[in-house]
Chains A and B, each alone.
Chain A
Amino acid sequence: RKEVEQDPGPFNVPEGATVAFNCTYSNSASQSFFWYRQDCRKEPKLLMSVYSSGNEDGRFTAQLNRASQYISLLIRDSKLSDSATYLCVVNKGNQGGKLIFGQGTELSVKP
């Protein structure tokens, strides 16, 4: 079983759609959770951190369920510029700051 698992997609959605990405992780000792965005052939960029209470940043909402070891990202009112690969990232818990990256979910937003 992979340490972080994501649906690889691709997700093809029209502009204005709502899309949800899911992620599961296997290390119950993980304490920090993030969503990154990666555009084609570019570096990963932090989209948002994920907190236990859930958090929202504009059109983006992240949720964490520690009991189920499950993380989600919801994008509302999709824009063409949201097209990218979204990486679910989890820290290794008792191994300092090392992060585990999911393989990413590809999103393509069409006009």
Chain B
Amino acid sequence: DAGVIQSPRHEVTEMGQEVTLRCKPISGHNSLFWYRQTMMRGLELLIYFNNNVPIDDSGMPEDRFSAKMPNASFSTLKIQPSEPRDSAVYFCASSPRTSGVTKQYFGPGTRLTVT
């Protein structure tokens, strides 16, 4: 089992540039999550997809952030334009269809630095 795959692992960009983060969930999982983790704010849910459909995007900080899931095996999180305060580790997680507790499987994360 390959686990959740994220790319790139590290991204350094200048303020104002567009950043695209990519995620391949575990095969067969029907839910996908994008999180952001910082020392100050901890782990924050940005957006949740179920069966490729965005269900809850209330955590997306502002219009500069957008996420898509064109199919069950791929999702992107885009920041345009990027700002220094977007510097964080961005995690993608996926979850299988289950009743009860949602077991989320996290990828290794993308460490984003905006200068």
Instruction: Answer yes or no: do A and B interact.
Output: no
Could you list which residues of chain A lie within 8 angstroms of chain B, going by C-beta atoms? none
